[in-house]
Amino acid sequence: MERFSGILLHPTSLPGKYGIGTLGKEAFHFIDFLAKARQKYWQILPLGPTGYADSPYQCFSSHAGNPFLIDLEDLADAGLITREDLQSADVFDDGPVDFGKVIQIKIPLLKKAFRTFRETAHEDVLIDFRNFINSISWWLDDYVLFMALKEHFGQKPWTLWDPSFKLKQEEAIRPLLPVLEESMNFHKFIQYIFFRQYFKVRDYAHQNNVSIIGDIPLYVAMDSADTWSHSELFQFDENKNPVSVGGVPPDYFSSTGQLWGNPIFRWDEMEKDGYSWWIERIQSSLQLYDIIRIDHFRGFAGYWSVPFGEKTAVRGEWIKGPGKKLFEKIRSQLGSIPIIAEDLGVITGDVIDLRDSFGLPGMKILQFAFDSSEANDYLPHNYSKNCVVY
């Protein structure tokens, strides 16, 4: 990667009248600003549909898009909702995002747009819609079924569903499909609209010589389509209850560590089919982003495993990760791809070796630099050449 500068700004933080930043005209204006300011990168956080605490690092899917990033004005321009609908949604102040209110206002309008689309879309649009959903059916089918079942079970996490549905037993799900069909089709429509809007923003960025840096969290959320539909890839018992969860041990910042609660991968199981889950996840991200930042990169070398049920991360242990085997497989399948390794925190020699063996730039944080130590790695005169400075 050449030496350029850019700005990190998640789309939710863009201005707008409807409670949350979106993929609408403000995103295009931001790209205009980046181009004028001679910035070459726009970095964003994960774009998935957010679950617990509305965090982009706790998404219902590692592939799907967030419905609340959909631009309502674009839907009105397409005739899927009305200008009166926009006026009724203009009830927000200029402060922080009120996610509860956004959900309350936006979901009914998205459902109205879906009904209008189904009733009025021309055949060429319907063909485009079908082609799109068929092209991503390898993850979309499980996702829309998962979301429809969540609604059916009152938005409860899948770990609290009735046992036969929790275990994804086909004989239990099949009779319910007619009831779930409307919801499943709605979620397919949402993904179609989201990605159509996102690709317009991405293409406009490229036209202005701006590249997009996206973000892959190492772990996925416990309550996600990924864990429910691919439970064999995670450390669950025979009843799909977690055995161990992720976090980091006690350190300078926290005497009890950080207990994230995310399920941990069964790396040995992933290795059996050549890490195909990870290959597909990165391929999916490369369609969206020019460069990928991998959050908690050190977990590939070794990860902190905490027994499920612990209240803190103190009683965990370090376990060896897949290391170079995973990245060799990624490179053999996808070639040399642009990855930024988030290598912050206490980093051991195996993490440095993994990062440098594949020529991946790490991260440097200016605010970390100014303590009393001249040996501080974050002081600019101590930087290695291959790094990204924040």
Give the pTM: 0.96
* pLDDT score of 375: 80
Residue-by-residue pLDDT tens, the chain, 390 positions: 688 999 999 999 999 999 999 999 999 999 999 999 999 999 999 999 999 899 999 999 999 999 999 999 999 999 999 999 999 999 999 899 999 999 999 999 999 999 999 999 999 999 999 999 999 999 999 999 999 999 999 999 999 999 999 999 999 999 999 999 999 999 999 999 999 999 999 999 999 999 999 999 999 999 999 999 999 999 999 999 999 999 999 988 899 999 999 999 999 999 999 999 999 999 999 999 999 999 999 999 999 999 999 999 999 999 999 999 999 999 999 999 999 999 998 789 999 999 999 999 999 999 999 876 778 889 999 998 899 999
* pLDDT score of 346: 77
**165 phi and psi angles, rounded to 5 deg:** -80, -35
How many alpha carbons fall within 13 Å on the CB side of residue 226?
A: 25
* pLDDT score of 371: 77
* pLDDT score of 92: 96
Cβ contact 307:259 at 8 Å: no
257 to 55, 228, 298, 310, 316: CA distances (angstroms): 20, 27, 16, 12, 10
* pLDDT score of 253: 81
What is the DSSP-derived secondary structure letter of residue 264? P
| Nearest of 308, 221, 319, 222 to residue 267 by alpha carbon | 319
Cβ contact 301:323 at 8 Å: yes
Cβ contact 190:22 at 8 Å: no
Which residue type does 76 have? A
- pLDDT tens, residue by residue, 302-339: 999 999 999 999 999 999 999 999 999 999 999 999 99
Q: Which helix (H) or strand (E) holds 119?
A: helix 99-120
- pLDDT tens, residue by residue, 81-136: 999 999 999 999 989 999 999 999 999 999 999 999 999 999 999 999 999 999 99
Looking up tokens 């317009």 gives: 200
* pLDDT score of 62: 97
Give the largest Cα separation in the chain, rounded. Answer: 67
**Radius of gyration of the chain from its Cα atoms, rounded to whole angstroms:** 22
* pLDDT score of 370: 84
* pLDDT score of 252: 81
* pLDDT score of 286: 96
Query: How many residues comprise the chain?
Result: 390
Nearest 10 degrees: CA dihedral of 5, 11, 17, 20?
-140
